Chain A
């Protein structure tokens, strides 16, 4: 299987005031195309930092990240933005929807940024919202939606540009167990149906276990990579 994303000895240190905090201390692993991968570890292990680096929101201090064989370190800020727009979708723990926009408008947003004509964007957003089962709540604003519904909107927004990779940062962290599980099932289904690669950061072992592979992260290094336990290997 083709390697979609390669992380090579990535290091990242944060500066908190005067103190330097090493978040990642040399992380390497690969992600295959179409894979459902979880990055599992306790809080402070550097999971979110790693996700941000893979999502081109930030640049590593050292090491390389290759997406589709292209070293993202060498790209300009504008190119990175374009990469985020076309190849990557983000799902956040706190949903990060724009409160003033309706569910539909939130989902449309990446298409709006890309300059897709309004009508086309609208149709595609409706279709994507249907895919996550929210066709009835399209014109509601985020505060009128439950946490699970908001996260579905966020997933729809992440999918709207047909990205190759969907990155989810603790997508269930702000939801109750049942709803969280539903969200995971939704992502699993999308992964299977559409073949998109999902990388999910979690500290919940049950959710981690649903993946094809689990990358164990601790104190900024990979402790181990585990193949799927319950026959959910691809």
Chain B
């Protein structure tokens, strides 16, 4: 029999039993809707997380610190070590940092400035390194040779809920250097050169609570050039892990330092989200299996009802294979139609759901110091051609697999007995 004719007959048989066909198809629709809904929302969620992580980390910036969890803290980096890191291939830019955690900053009238960490940097280097975060909201980033200046992070500039330090105001930085048995306390007056814009998203390179002073000032104060952090910008993000390895090899003991590779971290998170997504889709697929059982059930009934018809077809010369194909064609049509409708409703529902969710999670009002660290997560579903094709093939495969049993049952009927069937 011609393929086109087989499908025409199958279609006629299905439309003859409209209610039954639509209910059977509904099962497939629900299964595919669930799969597509979860897949597209999941893709959207992954995309959103990725976006946020990209904002939280400068993906092309590696963070090198002395010491690790497994080995004892080593000495800070020497200028020579910084220089050799600078020479590693794939390194575009290096910005070494000296941290002064013991530093306390006060205004001239004795109010405490909210800076948690003071970092000494070369301003031109750090501006290039994290150009998107190191933007002055007020004032100007000082030149490298302007000593005795300070740049405050957005939140570090607040004295309390409402009062901010003014640009060009002088502040006093007090550092305590302990070299037993002596303890030396130094007070240094610094001019507030700039206040940075809010970094926005949280992350490792969020410097909202930091204060920055010029490197020269710190070296002068501390009397030594010992760096606690080296920020490394790589020329190619994809090569991050290789560059990190090469940097490790610069040191005599590679295990004495730690390198944070944001892209590796992000890839890991993405992998985890991927697993969660696949797990959810697997659960959704169960509903498609249920739909498959429904198809098998209804087709078995249909074969029984049409026993006599099958007998007639066989008596007038239809081969078993023809009967098999005729029934499979019906299952296939249910799969195709259910799959197509399910894909449409799946995307429809995921967009509706995303809309409903985003109107639930209203962004909170931001106020000075207490402003929320996270913005609302607005997930928009993503159309994934890959998942669409997988879901469609899955729908058809389920229908054929579950249709095979009743179709074979029909094909195997003995024509004489089938004709006698009442």
Is B313 part of the binding interface, using a Cβ–Cβ cutoff of 8 Å? yes
Is A57 within 8 A of B317, CB to CB?
Answer: no
Contact: A81 with B320, CB < 8 Å? yes
Annotate A69-101 by CB proximity to B: 1 below 8 A, 0 otherwise.
000000001100111111011101000111010
Scoring B residues 336 to 362 as 1 if CB is less than 8 Å from chain A, else 0, what string do you get?
000000000000000000000000000
User: Which chain A residues lie closer than 8 Å to B155 at the CB level?
Assistant: none
CB of A154, distance to nearest CB on chain B (Å): 10
Q: Are A98 and B319 in contact (CB under 8 A)?
A: no
Per-residue CB contact flags for chain A residues 190-228 toward chain B (1 = under 8 Å, else 0) read: 000000000000000000000000000000000000000
A89-B316 Cα distance, complex, nearest whole Å: 7
Q: Using Cβ atoms and an 8 Å threshold, which residues of chain B touch A86?
A: 317
Chain B residue at minimum C-beta to C-beta distance from A158? B316
Min CB–CB distance A66 → chain B (angstroms):
19
Query: Which of chain A's residues have a CB closer than 8 A to the CB of B316?
Result: 84-85, 89-90, 109-110, 113, 157
Per-residue contact bits, chain B 317-343, to A (CB 8 Å; 1 contact, 0 not) = 111111000000000000000000000
The answer to whether A84 and B320 have CB atoms under 8 Å apart is no
Judge whether A113 and B315 touch: CB under 8 Å: no
Give the interface segment out of B85-93, B170-178, B192-200, B413-421.
B413-421
Which of A82, A96, A109, A157 lies in contact with B319, CB distance below 8 A?
Answer: A82
Chain B minimum-CB-distance residue to A169:
B419
Contact assessment for A85 and B309 in the assembled complex, using a CB-CB cutoff below 8 Å: no
Interface assignment of B183: CB less than 8 Å from any CB of chain A: no
Candidates B5, B312, B320, B415; contact of A98 at CB < 8 Å: B312
Which residues of B lie under 8 Å from residue A82 when comparing CB positions? 317, 319
Let me know if A112 is at the binding interface, CB within 8 A.
Answer: yes
Which of chain B's residues has its CB closest to A97's CB? Answer: B312
Partner of A100, one of B16, B317, B414: B16
CB distance from A81 to the nearest CB of B (A): 4
User: For residues 280 through 314 of chain B, which have their beta carbon under 8 Å from a beta carbon of chain A?
Assistant: 308-309, 311-314
**How far does the Cβ of A106 sit from chain B's closest Cβ, in whole Å?**
9
Q: CB within 8 A of A92: which of B318, B322, B414, B419?
A: B419
A55 interface contact, C-beta 8 A: yes
Q: Is the pair B315, A84 in contact by a Cβ cutoff of 8 Å? A: yes
**A113 to chain B: which residues have CB within 8 Å?**
1, 313, 316-318, 322
Asked if B312 and A57 make an inter-chain contact with CB atoms under 8 angstroms apart, the answer reads: no
Bound CA span A58–B415, Å:
8
Query: A90–B315 contact, CB under 8 A?
Result: yes
The reply on B2 being an interface residue by CB < 8 A is yes
Q: Is B12 an interface residue (CB 8 A)?
A: yes
Complex partner residue of B419 from A77, A88, A96, A97, CB under 8 angstroms: A96
Contact call B308/A84, Cβ cutoff below 8 A: no
Residue tally, chain B, CB below 8 Å to A? 25
Q: Is A118 an interface residue (CB 8 A)?
A: yes
Q: Is the CB of B320 within 8 A of A115?
A: no
Let me know if B317 and A52 touch, CB within 8 A. Answer: no
Contact at B416–A57, with CB atoms within 8 Å?
A: yes
B318 pairs with A57, CB closer than 8 A: no
Please give, as numbers and ranges, the residues of chain A lying within 8 Å of B416 by CB-CB distance: 52, 57-58
Query: A84 to B419, Cβ gap below 8 A?
Result: no
Q: Would you call B312 and A78 a contact (CB within 8 A)?
A: no
Q: Which residue of B is nearest A81, CB measured? A: B319
Contact with A along B1-41 (1 / 0, CB 8 A): 11001000100110010000000000000000000000000
Closest Cβ of chain B: how far from A166's Cβ, in Å? Answer: 12
Q: What A residues does B313 contact at CB under 8 A?
A: 109, 113
In whole angstroms, how far apart are the Cα atoms of A55 and B315 in the complex?
Answer: 8
Q: Count contacts on A: residues with CB < 8 A to the other chain.
A: 29
* A195 to B139 alpha-carbon distance, docked (Å): 112
Judge whether A115 and B419 touch: CB under 8 Å.
no
B326 CB to closest chain A CB (Å) equals 10
- Closest B residue by C-beta to A118: B5
Task: Provide the bound-state CA to CA distance between A53 and B198, in Å.
Answer: 92
Any chain B CB within 8 A of the CB of A3? Answer: no
Q: Which of A21-77 contact B (CB under 8 A)?
A: 52, 55, 57-58, 77
A81 adjacent to B312 (CB under 8 Å) = no
**A81 engages B317 (CB within 8 Å):** yes
Verify A78–B320 contact, CB threshold 8 A. yes
Whether the pair A58, B414 counts as a contact (CB closer than 8 A) is yes
Min CB–CB distance B346 → chain A (angstroms): 34
**Smallest Cβ-Cβ distance to B16: which chain A residue:** A100
A-contact 0/1 string along B238-263, CB 8 Å cutoff: 00000000000000000000000000
User: Cβ of A114 < 8 Å from any Cβ of B?
Assistant: yes
Scan B389-422; emit 1 where CB is below 8 A from any A CB, else 0: 0000000000000000000000000111001000
Residues of B within 8 Å of A90, CB to CB, are: 315-316
**Shortest distance in angstroms between A69's beta carbon and chain B's nearest beta carbon?**
21
CB-CB under 8 A from A55, the residues of chain B are: 315
A77-B320 CB under 8 A given contacts A57-B416, A113-B1, A115-B2: yes
Residue of B nearest to A89 (CB): B316
* List of B residues within 8 angstroms of A81 by Cβ: 314, 317-320
| Distance between B36 CB and nearest chain A CB, rounded to angstroms | 35
Task: Kindly identify, within residues 94 to 146 of chain A, every residue whose CB is under 8 Å from any CB belonging to chain B.
Answer: 96-98, 100, 109-110, 112-115, 118
Given the known inter-chain contacts A58-B414, A115-B2, please indicate yes or no for A98 contacting B309, CB distance below 8 A.
yes
Task: Supply 20 further A-B pairs (C-beta < 8 A) apart from A57-B314, A77-B319.
Answer: A57-B415, A57-B416, A58-B414, A81-B320, A82-B317, A83-B317, A84-B317, A85-B316, A96-B315, A97-B312, A98-B312, A100-B12, A109-B316, A110-B316, A112-B1, A112-B5, A113-B313, A113-B317, A113-B322, A118-B5
Name 5 interchain pairs, CB-CB below 8 A, sorted by A: A55-B315, A77-B319, A77-B320, A97-B312, A100-B13
Which B residues contact A (CB, under 8 angstroms)?
1-2, 5, 9, 12-13, 16, 308-309, 311-322, 414-416, 419
Top 5 A-B pairs, shortest CB-CB distance: A85-B317, A84-B317, A81-B319, A57-B415, A58-B416
